[in-house]
Amino acid sequence: MSHSHAHANTYLPKLAKIVHIKEEIGGERAIKTYRLEFENGDGFDHEVGQCAMLSIFGRGESMISIASSPLTKEYKQFSIMRVGRVTKAFHELQVGDVVGIRGPYGNQFPLSAWKGKNLVVIGGGVGLAPVWPIVTTAVAKRADYKDITVFYGARSSKDIMYREDLERIRGQATVHLSVDRAEEGWKEFVGFVPANVLAKKPDPKNTVAIVCGPPIMIKFVIQNLQQLGFTDEQIYTTIENKMKCGVGKCGRCNVGKDYVCVNGPVYSWAQLKDLPQEY
């Protein structure tokens, strides 16, 4: 047993206080964005694409993507859709409440390897959250990247998360929004995200495309990117599976030999297409 690990207990969460809550979307599958500040001088740094295990004591834990940039040190941000036991409990919480957090878990988007490239970030629904730190980090280090393009689609204009943030980055990034069905006053694209990508035709030359959203959206976005000439190495996505431990031991998030909590969640399509489709 290595001595340096003698006191590390990965299963013991640190405590963090909710300092800000933003209601992104209402309704049955509401989304709220939480800013958490570590208590007791605790903390950890993370990389773009990593996740953290959030706890509500008495309810349990959920693995959630860290939606803030690693450049933001004061707090970590999480956008949480109200779907299960823990996330429903999260939606009951108020500013000032204290929760548990452990991590960071998983690999990362290779942002430094992408310096000098065009970035095309494609999100659908709550799937914008895991890829959002790519956008905010690249915008903060704007000179490091060429064109930054964001595609984001939601069912209706009421279902668009990070609305103000998306408006704020226009000028430094090209933002293409879409809604599934036509509605009055909507001036941008009407239709699904894959169709919007095909309509706007991002140029694959010196570009990486990163996609996250519902599985069916990811599937068709990838097909359309390939049609536009993107190679499998130029396409990235981030996947999820049910998780408990976060450290590759509890056995349930595996996709073939990989544990998504350790070897994922970030994959290039070149890597992912060779893994079993168990996600």
Task: Quote the least distance from Cβ 149 to another protein, whole Å.
Answer: 28
| Pure H helices in the chain | 85-90, 128-140, 163-169, 193-200, 215-227, 269-272
Q: Based on the shown chain and the rule CB under 8 A, indicate whether residue 84 belongs to the binding site for another protein.
A: yes
Among 21, 93, 228, 250, binds another protein (CB under 8 A): 250
Between residue 214 and residue 243, which ones bind another protein under the rule CB under 8 A?
215, 240-242
One DSSP character per residue, 40-79 reads: TT------TT-EEEEEETTTEEEEEE--S-TT--S-EEEE
Contact 183, 191 (CB under 8 A): no
Q: Does 15 bind another protein (CB under 8 A)?
A: yes
| Distance separating alpha carbons of residues 179 and 177, to the nearest angstrom | 7
Cis bond before residue 265 (omega within 30° of 0): yes
Q: Which of 23, 229, 256, 273 binds another protein (CB under 8 A)?
A: 256
Position 43 contacts another protein (CB under 8 A): no
Which listed range, 1-9, 67-75, 113-121, 184-192, lies at the site for another protein (CB under 8 A)?
1-9
- Give Cα 98 distance to the centre of its chain: 23
**Residue 104 C-beta: closest distance to another protein, Å:** 12
> Of the candidates 30, 98, 195, 228, which one interacts with another protein according to CB under 8 A?
98
Q: Which residues bind another protein (CB under 8 A)?
A: 1-2, 5, 8-13, 15, 17, 39, 55, 57-61, 83-84, 87, 98, 100, 215, 240-242, 244-245, 247-257, 262, 276-279
